[in-house]
Amino acid sequence: MNNEDKLWKEQFKDLKTAADLCIDQITITDGNGVFLKISKDCDEYFGIKEEDMVGKSSFDMEKTGIFNISSSAEVIRRRQKVRFIQTTKANKRIFVTGYPVFDENENIIKVVNISTDITNDEDLERELKDTETKLEWLKNERRKRMRNEENFFGTESKNMKEIRSLVEHFASKDILILLLGDTGVGKSHIAKYIHNISNRNKEPFITINCGAIPHNLLESELFGYEKGSFTGALHTGKPGLFEIADNGTIFLDEIAELPLDLQVKLLTVLEEKKFRRIGGENYIDLKARILAATNKDLSNCVKEGTFREDLYYRINVFPIKIPPLSERVEDIPELIDIFLKSYSNKYETSKKVGPDAYEALLLYKYPGNIRELRNIIERLVIINEDEVITEKDVRKVIKIDNTVKDESKGMEKEEEIEIVPLKKGIEEYEKSLLKATSKKYKTTREQARVLGVDQSIIVRKRQKYSI
């Protein structure tokens, strides 16, 4: 027995003595949810004797109906304090609070639960119900706010309207969605949005960046391990992220970076809906929903031999391609407003974007996509001392090339018209017309008004012709 176990044994002895003298029920489990100590009146509270609880898993007791929900299991799933009303096998209504105990590595090593019998206390139960109702309302309001604050779709472009419609339609269906697109287009935000509007939104959302975790640690992070599985393993074992996610959502970001040996195991998990910890013998059911994302062409990865073909077909059932920001300039104004509001609140200031600054921001092509736009707006909010952000402020943080080449001071009149394909001729005329109006009118909004088209068309055409 190590020093830590000896210390806990002494603490348990004192705690059990104190617990037996108080009116509340106290139970203690280890980091895996196995009951270690229980105070008196166990059978009266839970309908089961103390000797039948000690050494048993709280997760198993949920499944057998001894608890409708276990506080220890919930603490381990959520990794935080929990509080709720519990119904036990003894038909008791219990108000229970579960407290996690962490070690220096932030691993849960114990869970302490304090339970109060409220079966006959109608006033207390009614008060708790009212509190639960208020909390539920606050959670719903928070979800609504998250819909607005974390909406990085933009709503103007046709592509993003279609993607948003698809996402909202399939969010409540447990299908594996594969998000495709360049770095910075908003794949992780869309994944979080899917989780937030799904029926799993009260459960954990866990992001796993397959390229950020060292390969030799990735398997234990995903699937967990039993005690003694390898040198350096915790003596209590450790649940993996697939297990911690429980009924929530697992987002496998940069899935193309997953090592080939783990691709095999992931395919097995997706097919069989179960997995085992490293060194474990028992299978654990996969309850979580899987979302995945990559900025690579997985079909090319299959050809190059870096991604398994069978896994590719398994996760490519419902792919969603997110276009780069340069292909949906209509979304830029709304995204600017969203980020401006967010960072103005964050830095406790009030900023506005002037017309010239808007013009400059619309002309930039954003190779880093939404992530770059967001960072630009944050920098502008931070560095600008005035209330209104100007074009000069914008040019301090980004380089915009909107110079117009002088082609002999305008179009030369030709006595004869050169015959070219119609498409090319239209494009040449379009280009000349845009150059002429850009000299006369200062903003794309004015150009759009004069030419009788939407501003987004002017912006897109100017980018196309490098005007």
Decide if pLDDT at 294 tops 90.
Answer: yes
- The C-alpha atoms of residue 244 and residue 288 are separated, in whole angstroms, by 9
Same domain, 332 and 360: yes
Residue 280 pLDDT > 80: yes
**422-440 vs 444-451: helix crossing angle, rounded to 10:** 120
Total domain count for the chain? 4
Q: Does residue 177 lie within any of the structural domains?
A: yes
CATH number at residue 44: 3.30.450.20
Asked, for residue 275, whether it belongs to a domain, the answer is yes
Q: Is residue 319 located within the same domain as residue 357?
A: no
Are residues 7 and 115 both part of a single domain?
Answer: yes
- Whether 315 and 333 share a structural domain: no
Q: What is the DSSP string of 287-345?
A: -SEEEEEESS-HHHHHHHTSS-HHHHHHH-SEEEEPPPGGG-GGGHHHHHHHHHHHHHH
Q: Domain boundary residue among 381, 397, 413?
A: 397
Query: Which tokens belong to 268?
Result: 């097995």
Statement to judge: residues 108 and 24 lie in one domain: yes
Residue 411 has pLDDT above 70, yes or no: no
Question: Does residue 51 sit in the same domain as residue 114?
Answer: yes
Q: In whole angstroms, what is the distance from residue 185 CA to residue 136 CA?
A: 32
Kindly report the pTM of this predicted structure: 0.57
Q: Which residues contact 449 (CB under 8 A, 6 or more apart)?
A: none
Q: How confident is the model at residue 404 (pLDDT cuts 50, 70, 90)?
A: very low
Region 167-192: what's the mean pLDDT? 92
315 and 339 co-located in one domain: no
Cα-flanking dihedrals φ and ψ of residue 109, to 5°?
Answer: -110, -25
Cβ atoms of residues 75 and 92 within 8 Å:
no
Residue ending a domain, among 274, 307, 323, is 323
CB 354 within 8 Å of CB 389: yes
Whether the pLDDT of residue 22 is over 50: the answer is no
pLDDT at residue 375 in the model? 94
Q: Is there a domain that residue 113 lies in?
A: yes
- pLDDT for position 134: 54
**What range does the domain containing 98 cover?**
3-120
Q: Which residue has the higher pLDDT, 80 or 454?
A: 80
Q: 231 and 189, same structural domain?
A: yes
| Selection from 242, 239, 236 nearest residue 110 by Cα | 236
Give a yes or no: residue 262 inside a domain: yes
- Token pair for 249: 């959502």
In CATH, what number is assigned to the domain containing residue 366?
A: 1.10.8.60
Residue 346 and residue 310 in one domain: no
Residue 125 belongs to some domain of the structure: no
Residue 284 sits in a domain of what CATH number?
3.40.50.300
| pLDDT at position 422 | 61
Give pLDDT, residue 214: 87
Is residue 364 within 8 Å of 184, Cβ to Cβ? no
Q: What average pLDDT is seen over the chain?
A: 81
Say if 140 falls within a structural domain.
Answer: no
What pLDDT is recorded for position 389? 93
Q: What is the mean pLDDT of residues 112-119?
A: 84
Q: pLDDT band at residue 109, thresholds of 50, 70 and 90?
A: very high
pLDDT for 283 beyond 80: yes
Residue 315 lies in a domain: yes
Distance (Å, whole) CA 462 – CA 467: 5
* Mean pLDDT of the region 443-460: 81
Alpha-helical (H) ranges within 364-443 are 369-383, 391-397, 422-440
Contacts for 79-85 with beta carbons within 8 Å, 24 or more apart? 79/108, 79/244, 84/132, 85/118, 85/125, 85/128, 85/132
Rg over alpha carbons for the chain, rounded to the nearest Å, is: 30
Does residue 43 have a pLDDT over 80? no
Confidence of residue 291 (pLDDT cuts 50, 70, 90): very high
- Give the pLDDT band of residue 151 (cuts 50, 70, 90): low
Predicted local distance difference test score (pLDDT) of residue 457: 83
- Percent of the chain past pLDDT 90, that is, above it, reads 32
Residues 190 and 293 in one domain: yes
457 in the same domain as 365: no
pLDDT > 80? residue 403: no
Flag whether 129 is in a domain: no
Last residue of a domain, one of 323, 347, 364: 323
Specify whether the CB–CB gap between 120 and 85 falls below 8 A.
Answer: no
Place of tokens 């609070």: 97
Residue 408's pLDDT band (cuts 50, 70, 90): very low
Q: What pLDDT score was predicted for residue 366?
A: 92
Let me know whether 352 and 305 are in one domain.
Answer: no
Per-residue exposure over 54-63, b if at least 16 CB sit within 10 Å of its own CB, e if not: bebbbbebbe
Backbone phi, psi, residue 281, to 5°:
-105, -30
pLDDT band at 362, cuts 50/70/90?
Answer: confident
- Which pLDDT belongs to residue 125? 58
